[in-house]
Amino acid sequence: MAQDRIPTWQLAAFAGPAVPMAAMGLPISVYLPQFYAEQMGLGLAAVGTVFMIARLWDVVTDPMMGVISDRFPSRWGRRRHWIAGSVPIVLLSAWMLFMPSAPSSSLYLFAWMFVLYIGFTMASLNHMAWGAELHEDYDQRSRIMGFREGFVILGVPVVLLIPVAIEQLGGANVEADRVAAMGWFIIVLLPITVAIAVWKVPEFGELSQKQELPLREAVRPLLNNRPLQRVIASDFLSGFSGAALGSMFLFQATYVLQIGVPSVLLLIYFFAGLGFVPVVVKLSYKLGKHQALIAAALFNALMVPTLFLIPPGNFYAAAAVFTFLGVNVGSVTILYRSILADVADIDELETGHRRTGLFYALMTLTSKTGGAIAVGVVFWTLSLIGFVPGAENTEAAIRGLSIVFVATPMICNFGVAAIMWGFPLDKDMQEDVRRQLEERAKTEEAATASD
pLDDT, tens only, 418-450: 999 988 877 777 777 778 877 776 776 666 666
Reduced to 3 states (helix: H, G, I; strand: E, B; else coil), residue 74 is strand
Measured distance CA(153)–CA(228) in Å, rounded: 25
pLDDT of residue 88: 94
pLDDT of residue 211: 45
The more confidently predicted of residues 139 and 394 is 394
Q: Which of 335, 15, 320 has the alpha carbon at shortest distance from 153?
A: 15
Name the CATH topology of 13-201+222-439.
Growth Hormone; Chain: A; (1.20.1250)
Query: CA Rg, the chain, in Å?
Result: 22
First to last CA, the chain: 23
Predicted confidence band of residue 210 (pLDDT cuts 50, 70, 90): very low
Give residue-wise pLDDT tens across range 7-16: 888 888 998 9
Residue 207 above 50 pLDDT?
Answer: no
Give residue-wise pLDDT tens across range 282-321: 888 888 888 888 998 899 899 999 999 999 999 999 999 9
In angstroms, the Cα distances linking 27 to 185, 228, 387, 403, 430 are 11, 30, 22, 24, 37
Residue 195 above 90 pLDDT?
Answer: yes
Do 99 and 183 meet the contact criterion of CB atoms below 8 Å apart?
A: yes
Most confident of the ranges 14-28, 136-150, 240-254, 406-420 = 406-420
Predicted confidence band of residue 221 (pLDDT cuts 50, 70, 90): low
Listed by start position, the domains of the chain span 13-201+222-439
